[in-house]
Amino acid sequence: MAKAVPIYKLTQTERPLRDSAPVLMVRLQEMLDYADSIRSPENVAELHNLRIAAKRLRYTLELFAPTLDPVGVSDLLDRVTEIQERIGVIHDCDVLFPLLQDTMELEMEREKRVIKKRGGVSVGPPPFLAAEGLAGMTAQKRDERVRLYAEFVAFWDALPPDRLISELSRLVAAPEESRTA
């Protein structure tokens, strides 16, 4: 799991919260550290770590939101939240797909044992084979993951990540007095 960079040297407990806003850049960099792994759909763990880093950035942005330009922070929060949510749905597929595969294999073995127990003869109408239903569901989740991943890469490229850096840098650098209510 993605480890958070300690930020105790950047926080200033005796000063106003706004003075510690540079921690946002640390959180953004943590997220961007996983950006190269986006280009390969096999990087399941790295993609999940990107999601965790995005969640950390989101929560830190929410903490600092009252001290930042409301319009800028709202837009940035929306995009970081969307990153987190898009990767979350992909991760759901990454978790479910192997579970479905394992369950399907177990069910196929069970079904083979039942047929063997009957002497290899089916009595009555053919039984519903659960493995057949699981095969369809497994294929559906695989295809869904492929689609969601392609959509995420397109979304990421459209951001683009450099824009996140410049917008957050602007928000952090702006004096608190310049924010509009």
pLDDT digits (tens, 9 = 90+) for 80-134: 999 999 999 999 999 999 999 898 888 888 877 877 787 766 655 456 577 778 8
Q: Considering only CA atoms, which of 35, 81, 74, 36 is closest in space to residue 57? A: 81
* CATH fold label, 17-120+127-175: CHAD domain (1.40.20)
Read off the pTM.
Answer: 0.81
Domain chopping of the chain, boundaries:
17-120+127-175
The whole-number pLDDT of residue 122 equals 60
The helix-helix angle for 44-64 and 23-32 (nearest 10°) equals 160
